[in-house]
Structure 1
Amino acid sequence: MRKLTVRKMFLSFLVLNTWGSYLYAQDQKVTVSQDQKFEQILNEKRNINTSLTVNDSYKIQIYNGGSENAKKTLSDFKQNFSDIDATIVFNTPNYKVWVGGFRTRIEAERSLIDIRKKYNNVLLIKPSR
């Protein structure tokens, strides 16, 4: 009885192995088309993120929203506060304007007082990446 079961298993394996060599997956080509705006947005994100240096320093967020307003806010900030570094960060779906690279929280809070006079919705943040 045991020999018969082993023999059936061996024959099943042999048959499946032989027929399996004739089986193929589907050969079909897939063409992916994407909108040109997607590539444009992706390149913009790459450019923004290469200029971004996130470390253990404190930052002040002065804007959160659309791309065009983020660029305007960044330009306006650089005119008013030329001594403080600023950059745009993209976190889907919003653009954020982060300013400063303060080593301590006290240093960031001192600058926050002056920045708050010009920009209403400001946040003191410590990015974690």
Structure 2
Amino acid sequence: MVNKGILIGIFFTGIVFSSQAQSGHVEVIKDSLITLLQEFRADNDLNPTASRRIKVGSAVNKTTGKRVKVKGFRVQIFSGPNRNDAYAAQARFKSQYKNIDSYVNYEEPNYRVKVGDFRGRDEANDFMRVLRNQYSNVFVFVEDIWVYE
């Protein structure tokens, strides 16, 4: 036989612990250096996912701008084993979007065509939605991109 007092004590202890767990209080413990790093990146514009919108198709003055390499995003519009198909997809894209750069690279066994130099993921996603009506298998990738400042 189990002592009823012990069972009642265990039951009430369980209620107390579960009510404490559901109190809605969350304690965040982090190193103070994380906050300093976040502030430094914000002050020095080092956040690759920060959204700086540039209108799709807008012209950039490449003669006066400084070309820099940063982490950013590109939209893949083609992936396949046929080189001619890759270059045909690139030519088709260039005829539609004259102000947006396109890149063909080979990663065995496929050729890939990626377009754009987007600093923000949301900007790349917006352009990807536009391209989904024109190309199949469209994806956004994180890459080193070249931009003019």
2:79 paired residue number:
64
2:71 is paired with a residue whose SS is coil
2:115 paired residue number:
99
Computing the radius of gyration from Cα coordinates, the structure with the larger value is: 1
**Equivalent runs, 1:15-94 vs 2, <5 Å:** 55-65=70-80, 66-94=82-110
- Per-residue CA deviations over 1:89-128 (Å, capped at 9, x if unaligned) read 1111211001011000011111111111111210111137
Root-mean-square deviation (CA, aligned residues, Å) is 1.8
Deviating 4+ runs (over 3 angstroms): none
**Contact 1:64–1:95 (CA under 8 A) maintained in structure 2:** yes
- Under a length normalisation based on structure 1, what TM-score does the superposition of the two structures give? 0.54
In terms of fraction of residues, the more strand-rich structure is 2
User: What code does the residue aligned with 1:60 have?
Assistant: V
Distance change (3 Å), C-alpha of 1:89 and 1:54: farther
Question: Of the candidates 109, 120, 125, which is equivalent to residue 136 of structure 2?
Answer: 120
Quote the offset at 1:56 in angstroms: 1.1
Distance change (3 Å), C-alpha of 1:84 and 1:127: same
**Contact 1:112–1:124 (CA under 8 A) maintained in structure 2:** yes
Structure 1: stretches of 5+ with no match in the other structure: 1-52
**Contact 1:88–1:97 (CA under 8 A) maintained in structure 2:** yes
1:75 is paired with a residue whose SS is helix
The whole-number CA distance in structure 2 between the counterparts of 1:127 and 1:107 is: 14
**Contact 1:88–1:95 (CA under 8 A) maintained in structure 2:** yes
The whole-number CA distance in structure 2 between the counterparts of 1:55 and 1:86 is: 17
The whole-number CA distance in structure 1 between the counterparts of 2:109 and 2:133 is: 27
2:125 is paired with a residue whose SS is helix
Quote the offset at 1:54 in angstroms: 7.4
Structure 2: stretches of 5+ with no match in the other structure: 1-67, 145-149
- Under a length normalisation based on structure 2, what TM-score does the superposition of the two structures give? 0.47
In terms of fraction of residues, the more helix-rich structure is 1
